[in-house]
Structure 1
Amino acid sequence: MIGRIRGILIEKQPPDVLIEAAGVGYEVQLPMTSFYQLPDVGEEAIIYTHFVVREDAQLLFGFADKSERALFRELIKVNGVGPKLALTILSGMSAAQFIQCVTHDDYTGLVKLPGVGKKTAERLVVEMRDRLKKLAEQGDGVTQLPTLTAEKDGATLLVTTDVKEDALSALVALGYKPVHAAKVINTVYSEGASSEDLIRDALRSMG
């Protein structure tokens, strides 16, 4: 199993990166909480990984630290939660915030995430409660991001700039509907913002 990669970042297109180590380029998908912590393209990065083998693909998921990877590994054990949904959950809130939602039976915070309905939220709380007792004690180094809040209104649906297109592609890959994502992107967009800034601000305002 590939558990850790140390190499040079060749490409960054959220939520995907290409990192070269020992002459091999690895395509890795990261939750946005980890993506925000990456250095610039051309610099060295260390990514903790989880390797998934399917009949039709071999996938690498990456994380900024071991605690977030540990939470990801527990999430995909939950009935009805696959790697894509687990990645979406960790993009919408930090590992520490997810632990807080489960500990306090905060179903409302969980259902704000795309792909997490009431039944899935209930399963997450029930199945993760005991597992998270141990993970909560190992939460050092987890990036703190605000949980998702209500959607802002009044945005147009036109997406024109490369920065906006990059942000839209990332949000759609995380499970958000294109029209909804485009609307929020135009609401939070400010001149000079990078695609990473735009994704972060959109995630903060989307519900």
Structure 2
Amino acid sequence: MIAQIRGKLILKTVSMVIIDNHGIGYEVMIPLSTYYELPDVGSEVSLFVYTFFKQDSILLVGFCTENEKQLFKLMISVSGIGPRLAVNVLSGINSSELIHAIANNDLKRLLKVPGLGRKMAQRVILELRDKVSEWTSKEQITFINNKKDAIDQSVMEEDAISALINLGYKSQAAKDAIDRVISEGGENKSLDVILKKALKVLAM
């Protein structure tokens, strides 16, 4: 089982990277929190990896921190949550907020995460509340810091809208959120900053 991968970053998107390790390119699914921390394409990168075996393929899911990998494993332990939905959840809410929402039975906050319906959100709280309490007493949650440079404005806006749509938000809602962020001084900011602010708008 692959637990960690290190190599040259060949391609990165908001949901996937390709890492070259000794001439073999590994496609790895990632949450937004990991995307925020990635270096530039061409740089060396190291990710903690969860290997998910399906009948006819293998899915690799990567994280910048071991803490987030463990939180991902908690999420997929919930009945009905697979790796893609777990990644989607971790992309729609940061680790500290997710743990706080589960520990404090904050159903309203969880319902704002794309892909989590009421029944699934209730199940997450029911099945993980005690586990999260035990886990947070031992693990330190890593907060996400933005350190990326600004990119072309029009391309950035299109990428941000596309990323939100991929997370499950409706096209118009995604566009409205990005427009609001830009109008409030989000111009000339990096993609990850815009996405963070847009996710906060959508969570209101």
**TM-score bucket (shorter structure):** 0.7 to 0.9
* 21-30 or 185-194: bigger deviation: 185-194
Alignment-mate amino acid for residue 183 of structure 1: D
Counterpart CA distance in 2 for 1:32 and 1:72 is 13
Asked whether the equivalents of residues 7 and 20 of structure 1 are also in contact (C-alpha less than 8 Å), the reply is yes
Asked whether the equivalents of residues 34 and 143 of structure 1 are also in contact (C-alpha less than 8 Å), the reply is no
Q: Does 1:165 align with 2:158?
A: yes
Corresponding residue number in structure 1 for 2:179:
186
Corresponding residue number in structure 2 for 1:153:
none
Q: Does 1:51 align with 2:44?
A: no
Counterpart CA distance in 2 for 1:195 and 1:94 is 16
Counterpart CA distance in 1 for 2:38 and 2:79 is 31
Counterpart CA distance in 1 for 2:93 and 2:29 is 16
Corresponding residue number in structure 1 for 2:202:
206
Q: Do the aligned partners of residues 19 and 141 (structure 1) sit closer, same or farther apart at CA in structure 2, a change above 3 Å counting?
A: farther
Alignment-mate amino acid for residue 168 of structure 1: I
5+ residue gaps, structure 2, are 146-152
Deviation (angstroms), 1:72: 0.7
Partner SS for 1:61: strand
Runs of 4 or more off by more than 4 Å in structure 1? none
Asked whether the equivalents of residues 84 and 174 of structure 1 are also in contact (C-alpha less than 8 Å), the reply is no
Q: Does 1:137 align with 2:116?
A: no
Corresponding residue number in structure 1 for 2:106:
106
Counterpart CA distance in 2 for 1:89 and 1:135 is 18
Q: How many percent identity over aligned positions?
A: 37
1:86-125 to structure 2, matched below 5 A, reads 86-125=86-125
Alignment-mate amino acid for residue 200 of structure 2: R
- Per-residue CA deviations over 1:133-173 (Å, capped at 9, x if unaligned) read 3321343251258xxxxxxxxxxxxxx93222222222222
Partner SS for 2:37: coil
Counterpart CA distance in 2 for 1:144 and 1:164 is 21
Partner SS for 2:187: coil
Scaled by the length of structure 2, what TM-score is found?
0.85
Corresponding residue number in structure 1 for 2:26:
26
- Per-residue CA deviations over 1:19-71 (Å, capped at 9, x if unaligned) read 22222211112111222112222222211011122235432111111111111
Q: Do the aligned partners of residues 81 and 203 (structure 1) sit closer, same or farther apart at CA in structure 2, a change above 3 Å counting?
A: same
Counterpart CA distance in 2 for 1:39 and 1:59 is 22
Highest RCO, 1 vs 2 (Cα 8 Å, sep ≥ 6): 1
Counterpart CA distance in 2 for 1:59 and 1:182 is 31
Of Structure 1 and Structure 2, the greater helix share is in 2
Counterpart CA distance in 1 for 2:137 and 2:22 is 35
1:10-25 to structure 2, matched below 5 A, reads 10-25=10-25
Alignment-mate amino acid for residue 200 of structure 1: K
Corresponding residue number in structure 1 for 2:192:
196
Corresponding residue number in structure 2 for 1:150:
none
Alignment-mate amino acid for residue 204 of structure 1: K
Corresponding residue number in structure 2 for 1:63:
63
Scaled by the length of structure 1, what TM-score is found?
0.84
Number of aligned residue pairs: give it: 193
Corresponding residue number in structure 1 for 2:8:
8
